[in-house]
A and B are shown apart, each in its own frame.
Chain A
Amino acid sequence: MVVLALNATEFIGRFHPILVHLPIGILILAVLFIALSLKEQFSYLKDAIGITLFLGMLSAIASCISGYLLSQSESYDPGLIFKHQWFAIALAASSIVLYVLHLMQKRLTWTAGLMAILLLITGHLGGSITHGSDFLFKESSAKNSKVKNENKPIANIQDGAAYATLIQPIFESKCIACHGLEKQKAKLRLDGPASILKGGEGGAAIVAGQAEQSALMKRILLAKDNKEHMPPAEKPQLTKEEIDIVEWWINGGASFDRKVSDIQQTDKIKRVFKSLSTDHSNDEVSLVDVPEASVSKASESAIQKLRERGITVVPVAQNSNYLLVNYVAIEAFTAKDLKLLQAINDQLIWLKLPNIALTDESIDELNQLTNLTRLYVQKTNLTDQGIAKLAKLSNLQYLNLSGTKATAKGVASISGLKNLRHLYLYQTAITDDELKKIRLELPKTNVDGGGYQVPKIEWDTAVSRAPIIK
């Protein structure tokens, strides 16, 4: 359909984005030649001015024609088009004048300067039409698009107006680049309630209450390789969640002022909202595992001493000086083995001391490990006394106390660890009631008491057999 409807003028018009680069390049070159040839040492460039001007003039005229055809077949911001068109015509005219002056062997400098200025203005206006008038000065586009493409968590989804909190951001990030104030493809604008209701060339964009009848929804749902699909295949697409939200909003009456909670919600949309909401009390927060501050390289001899004891020491990444240390393979551990860590105080961030003869006293050796973010002391003889000493490790994000002698008292003594996000208390004497209390005290921490079971069900022991055929 689309291909057939594409007539010759439209087709030529679409060459405009390619053609415009020719006069820009060639005419700049001509101005450069004119300026340089004033100098004695570049006087030979005079011979090239004629042909450069001639080609520049031809390409400027061709660009004007193709540009005019393009503006007829697509909808852009009429104000910008008007300016761009007349500056371009002035530019083409000035290039003709310049060529004629050249043929008459007259002085070119002033006219060339004027043309250069026209060239800059026309080019900038053209750029504004395709990339948006704020393109030059807005924040870096990578940064911008990242924020837009991610599903930004929204606090209290239910209390906001459906259009303002959910729909408008989607249209802004995915639609209005072509259906907004500046570009209005198919005469459709999605940048405000009135224009959304007005629809475009093909009539109404949305039918309130009937998503499946709405042209907007139909085009979003079409297969990506379909020519009618929106947004166009090469542009950022709506995510599955965004599609669900738009569908839900249209089905709910496409209201511009109703609150989210006032519109009927299916299970599906509830799940989408849940994934968008900021209420993930147990989720990983934006704490980084590896500190951003850089650190000097740990002494090679200190690392060697640890390794000789069968202790694994390894940088957390190839370009990092921060270290992971694991005592899992050590033979005959003594408290002395922890002293070895003092030489790598600054670098050590992840320390694994599982299943070794750790005592409350030996924890003193860890006092200086202030950069430590992950500490594994599971299956050790640690009691509340030793655990209380961990309160000094203020950067701890992960603490594994499972299989220790920890009690609620010991855990209370480390409640000041404000960065703690994961606390494991499996196989400790802590009761379920105490766990509930701990969770209240440490609202940001994922407190795992373990003790999970896989219940026995009848299905487990049943055996499926082939039916007996008589």
Chain B
Amino acid sequence: MRDDNQTRRLIKEAEQAMLQQYTRRHFLKDGAMGFGALALGSLLGNCWGNSGSKKLFDAANPLAARPPMFPGKAKSVIYLHMAGAPSQLELFSYKPELAKLDGLDCPPSLLEGKKFAFIRGVPKMLGPQAVFKQRGESGLWLSDNLPHLATVADDIAMLNAVTTEQFNHAPAQLLMHTGSARLGRPSIGSWVTYGMGTENNNLPGFVVLTSGGNNPDAGKSVWGSGFLPSVYQGVQCRSEGDPVLFIKDPKGMDRDLRKASIDAINKVNQEQYSEYNDPETLSRIAQYEMAYKMQISVPDVMNINDEPQYIHEMYGTQPGKTSFANNVLLARKLVEKGVRFVQLFDWGWDTHGDSAGNAVDIGLINKCRKVDRPITALLLDLKQRGLLDETLVVWGTEFGRTPMQENREGKKMPFKGRDHHAAAFNMWMAGGGIKGGTSYGVTDEIGYNIVSGKTEAYDIQATILNQLGFDHEKLTYESQGRNFRLTDLSGKVIKDILA
């Protein structure tokens, strides 16, 4: 009798909970507005061409491989970001005229109306602190700070005139990776996995690896999914210890029990979904299932111990440590396994000259030693495995550095360093249908401003999407009542560097 009462009460509560969802407001909104919108939608349907954004997202299987808009040359991307902004004037940008100005006061014409992160008053010009040579058949100028990369110069397309609006690390990194200097937009890896899913559903489509001791200044938003379903955010893996934290089952829980508990959770979520129809619930179900599969597949792919010794020597890797080299080797392994987008961040390139480690003639060179070999090895290794043609490798950063020596608070710095410089810097691409041995863009004689071939973050993003088979203007997602895209309202594909 008592049980019966309790049951009845519970049912009643449940009914009321259901009814609360269907208030008068809901009725009016779903009814009136819904029908109105339906009518309007069918009237205007053909005017708003981009209604495709909803179709792309299959909530039950959000990472399933999807066809690109046109057959792209590249199938995956490895994006190497040097966080902190290495000096282009000591690596890629050969400026003999700047050497002649070394030690002279910066002319006022370069300072008028300009804002710098740290430079105050009148700084001195700082000549190139590296020796440059022309490399390969293409004659690309590279400094002696990248002796290994110099041997593969003919595989690289150099962008000489990249420019940004941001001269602080975090917003500049966000702009480069999300198309906006403010928080909240999806990162390029998220857009790509949203657009084309991944070919190996045992692994995440978008993996992030960091090195150099810190995450990039912009934090995890720089691989976030913004307003895209959260399943598209980058999955950060570690190259030391467990690749993903808590990936092992706890003591006393075997694999069958884990499977049973995930099935139970998913069942509850499925019921929740049939009630509320929130696609995020389906994403959550997919993520649980993927997490279960990843418990086996990720430790397997993230293990570099089984690579032969000559590969370790080629990349300069040391298993068990966190290093950029290890991450680069992992990136190759992940791409081999069908992962769509691998994003590397290496922190520690912010060469202000405030310490020896941050000097363009000391610390910068030591940093170069840690990346030059693995990056060169990556290009060669992808090539011999027949993967370079379909893997787009992007080397980038958030901005460049000034041709003037930094004089923080107007004082002479203990070491040679350069301040943040947004107006002109270098990036490069290779593989994935990019024409090696080309270069695009010209800067003035001291690398201060762009003369031609202006390249913005949006242009780089548009080019990456183009190589994967997407028109950057059409890969959109509706949020807050309008269609958004990675390149916002700008962006043009850099056709000069395409094969």
A280-291: CB near B (< 8 Å → 1, else 0) gives: 000010000110
**B267 lies within 8 A of chain A by Cβ:** no
Known pairs A316-B71, A460-B316; A400 contacts B386 (CB<8 A) = yes
**A203 lies within 8 A of chain B by Cβ:** no
Query: What residue of chain B has the Cβ atom nearest to residue A310's Cβ?
Result: B201
Complex interface: stretch among A111-119, A136-144, A407-415, A446-454:
A446-454
**B200 lies within 8 A of chain A by Cβ:** yes
Query: What residue of chain A has the Cβ atom nearest to residue B148's Cβ?
Result: A454
Query: What residue of chain A has the Cβ atom nearest to residue B200's Cβ?
Result: A329
Asked if residues A450 and B384 are in contact (CB atoms below 8 Å), the reply is yes
Asked if residues A312 and B200 are in contact (CB atoms below 8 Å), the reply is yes
- Contact pick for B314, options A312, A318, A424, A454, CB 8 Å: A454
Asked if residues B68 and A424 are in contact (CB atoms below 8 Å), the reply is no
Asked if residues A326 and B338 are in contact (CB atoms below 8 Å), the reply is yes
Asked if residues A426 and B147 are in contact (CB atoms below 8 Å), the reply is no
Complex Cα distance A267/B469, Å? 37
Complex Cα distance A398/B386, Å? 9
A388-416: CB near B (< 8 Å → 1, else 0) gives: 00000000001010100000000000000
Query: What residue of chain B has the Cβ atom nearest to residue A469's Cβ?
Result: B414
B373-408: CB near A (< 8 Å → 1, else 0) gives: 100110011011110010000000000000000000
Complex Cα distance A284/B389, Å? 10
Main secondary structure of the interface of B (DSSP, over half): loop
Asked if residues A314 and B65 are in contact (CB atoms below 8 Å), the reply is yes
**A315 lies within 8 A of chain B by Cβ:** yes
**A422 lies within 8 A of chain B by Cβ:** yes
Known pairs A271-B138, A271-B139; A448 contacts B384 (CB<8 A) = yes
Query: What residue of chain A has the Cβ atom nearest to residue B369's Cβ?
Result: A460
Known pairs A290-B71, A460-B316; A314 contacts B199 (CB<8 A) = yes
Asked if residues A329 and B201 are in contact (CB atoms below 8 Å), the reply is yes
**A376 lies within 8 A of chain B by Cβ:** yes
Asked if residues B66 and A328 are in contact (CB atoms below 8 Å), the reply is no
Asked if residues B67 and A316 are in contact (CB atoms below 8 Å), the reply is yes
Residues of chain A contacted by B101 (CB below 8 angstroms) = none
Asked if residues A424 and B385 are in contact (CB atoms below 8 Å), the reply is yes
Complex Cα distance A453/B308, Å? 13
Complex Cα distance A290/B499, Å? 17
Asked if residues A317 and B71 are in contact (CB atoms below 8 Å), the reply is yes
Complex Cα distance A188/B310, Å? 65
Query: What residue of chain B has the Cβ atom nearest to residue A326's Cβ?
Result: B199
- Contact pick for B415, options A284, A398, A451, A466, CB 8 Å: A466
**A2 lies within 8 A of chain B by Cβ:** no
**A110 lies within 8 A of chain B by Cβ:** no
Complex Cα distance A402/B386, Å? 8
Complex interface: stretch among B117-125, B180-188, B224-232, B355-363:
B355-363
What is the number of contacts between chain A and chain B, taking CB atoms within 8 Å?
Answer: 120
Asked if residues A452 and B383 are in contact (CB atoms below 8 Å), the reply is yes
A313 CB, nearest partner CB in chain B, Å: 8
**B35 lies within 8 A of chain A by Cβ:** no
A425-444: CB near B (< 8 Å → 1, else 0) gives: 01000000000000000000
**B70 lies within 8 A of chain A by Cβ:** yes
Residues of chain B contacted by A454 (CB below 8 angstroms) = 148, 151, 314-315, 373, 376-377, 380
Interface residues of A in 290-329 (CB under 8 A from B): 290, 310, 312-320, 324, 326, 328-329
Query: What residue of chain A has the Cβ atom nearest to residue B75's Cβ?
Result: A324
Count of chain B residues with a beta carbon within 8 Å of a chain A beta carbon:
49
**B354 lies within 8 A of chain A by Cβ:** no
Known pairs A284-B499, A464-B363, A464-B366; A271 contacts B385 (CB<8 A) = no
- Contact pick for A463, options B366, B381, B415, B452, CB 8 Å: B366
Residues of chain A contacted by B12 (CB below 8 angstroms) = none
Asked if residues B385 and A329 are in contact (CB atoms below 8 Å), the reply is no
Complex Cα distance A402/B382, Å? 12
Asked if residues B200 and A317 are in contact (CB atoms below 8 Å), the reply is no
**A386 lies within 8 A of chain B by Cβ:** no
**B112 lies within 8 A of chain A by Cβ:** no
B301 CB, nearest partner CB in chain A, Å: 11
Asked if residues B386 and A448 are in contact (CB atoms below 8 Å), the reply is yes
Query: What residue of chain A has the Cβ atom nearest to residue B310's Cβ?
Result: A453
Main secondary structure of the interface of A (DSSP, over half): loop
Complex Cα distance A84/B117, Å? 64
- Contact pick for B199, options A284, A312, A456, CB 8 Å: A312
Asked if residues A466 and B359 are in contact (CB atoms below 8 Å), the reply is yes
**A457 lies within 8 A of chain B by Cβ:** yes
Asked if residues B69 and A318 are in contact (CB atoms below 8 Å), the reply is yes
**B306 lies within 8 A of chain A by Cβ:** no
Complex Cα distance A449/B148, Å? 20
Query: What residue of chain A has the Cβ atom nearest to residue B196's Cβ?
Result: A314
Residues of chain B contacted by A462 (CB below 8 angstroms) = 369
Query: What residue of chain A has the Cβ atom nearest to residue B339's Cβ?
Result: A328
Complex Cα distance A14/B68, Å? 49
Query: What residue of chain A has the Cβ atom nearest to residue B138's Cβ?
Result: A271
Asked if residues B71 and A289 are in contact (CB atoms below 8 Å), the reply is yes
B320 CB, nearest partner CB in chain A, Å: 20
Asked if residues B381 and A452 are in contact (CB atoms below 8 Å), the reply is yes
B295 CB, nearest partner CB in chain A, Å: 14
**B4 lies within 8 A of chain A by Cβ:** no
Asked if residues B365 and A318 are in contact (CB atoms below 8 Å), the reply is no
Query: What residue of chain A has the Cβ atom nearest to residue B359's Cβ?
Result: A466
Asked if residues A315 and B338 are in contact (CB atoms below 8 Å), the reply is no
Residues of chain B contacted by A449 (CB below 8 angstroms) = 384
Residues of chain B contacted by A452 (CB below 8 angstroms) = 314, 380-381, 383-384
Complex Cα distance A328/B499, Å? 28
**B337 lies within 8 A of chain A by Cβ:** yes
Residues of chain A contacted by B70 (CB below 8 angstroms) = 317-319
**B202 lies within 8 A of chain A by Cβ:** yes
- Contact pick for A318, options B67, B201, B366, B452, CB 8 Å: B67
**A465 lies within 8 A of chain B by Cβ:** yes
Residues of chain A contacted by B217 (CB below 8 angstroms) = none
**B280 lies within 8 A of chain A by Cβ:** no
Residues of chain A contacted by B315 (CB below 8 angstroms) = 454
**A354 lies within 8 A of chain B by Cβ:** yes
Asked if residues B68 and A318 are in contact (CB atoms below 8 Å), the reply is yes
Complex Cα distance A459/B310, Å? 19
**A46 lies within 8 A of chain B by Cβ:** no
Complex Cα distance A273/B373, Å? 32
**B15 lies within 8 A of chain A by Cβ:** no
**A274 lies within 8 A of chain B by Cβ:** yes
A-B contact pairs, 27 of them (CB 8 A): A289-B71, A310-B202, A312-B201, A312-B338, A313-B65, A314-B66, A316-B67, A317-B67, A317-B68, A317-B469, A319-B70, A320-B67, A329-B202, A329-B338, A352-B199, A402-B384, A402-B386, A448-B386, A450-B384, A452-B314, A453-B313, A454-B148, A454-B314, A457-B148, A465-B356, A466-B356, A466-B359
11 extra A-B contacts, CB within 8 A, seeds A310-B201, A312-B201, A318-B70: A289-B71, A316-B71, A318-B67, A318-B68, A326-B200, A328-B338, A329-B199, A426-B385, A453-B380, A454-B314, A463-B369
What is the interface of chain A, defined by CB distance below 8 A to chain B?
A: 224, 267-268, 271, 274, 284, 289-290, 310, 312-320, 324, 326, 328-329, 352, 354, 376, 378, 398, 400, 402, 422, 424, 426, 448-454, 456-457, 459-460, 462-466
